[in-house]
Amino acid sequence: MHNSLLTNIILLSLFHTAVIAAPDKYAAVLTVRQTSAPTDPQCLDYARTANLSTIGANSTYRSAFLQASPVGTIFNAQMLNAAILKLPALTGDEALNQACGNLTTIALAEAERNFTVGIVAQFSGLVGNPQEIKAGPELLPIVGLIILIFGGVWSFMP
């Protein structure tokens, strides 16, 4: 009787230790992840501002972003401009950069890396120049039609 109680207590305490020990392992994994991807709201705000400002300040990224985004250009331009205005204070904030890492530097490097693979912010598949004007043989009938319509108006004008 006593013996089985003791066994139970030992088993229970072993189980207890196992349960308590497990989160420790995950905690270590979590802290490692958090240093590279901060979940602190302050850091998230800094990351967002740095990313948007980097895109907004470079005309290449900016035009690609505005073209890819389904949201209106005026609204997006306001958002990018606000980020550009807000970033310098965050970049200069020593404590914030200590806590989150210099996300301004990261955003600059990452925006460039993203762009080389056709990604700007959350939009991918932007390989090539989005400003490029299409000019192929398919334009011939279109231009011909335009000449016919406009020319026709002049030719048959009474």
Ligand X SMILES: *[C@@H]1O[C@H](CO)[C@@H](O)[C@H](O)[C@H]1NC(C)=O
Binding site for ligand X (CB under 6 A): 44, 47-48, 51, 54, 58, 60, 91, 94, 97, 102, 104-107, 110-112, 114-115, 119, 121-122
Is-contact 31 87, C-beta < 8 A? no
Residue found under tokens 């965050």: 90
For residue 38, the minimal CB distance to ligand X (Å) is 9
Question: Rounded to the nearest 5°, which phi and psi values hold at 123?
Answer: -100, 130
> Closer to ligand X at the Cβ: 54 or 76?
54
Of 88 and 152, the one with the shorter C-beta distance to ligand X is: 88
- Residue closer to ligand X by CB (options 75, 150) is 75
- The distance of closest approach from Cβ of residue 87 to ligand X in the complex, given in angstroms and rounded to an integer, is 10
Q: Which is nearer to ligand X, 109 or 145 (CB)?
A: 109
Which single residue brings its beta carbon nearest to ligand X? 110
Give CA–CA dist 22/19, Å, rounded: 5
Distance CA(75)–CA(81), nearest Å, equals 10
Backbone angles phi, psi at 157, to 5 degrees: -70, 130
In single-letter form, the type of residue at position 105 comes to: T
Q: What tokens does 115 get? A: 């762009």
For residues 123 and 51, is the Cβ–Cβ distance under 8 A? no
Least Cβ distance, residue 138 to ligand X (angstroms): 30
Name the minimum Å distance from CB 73 to ligand X: 18
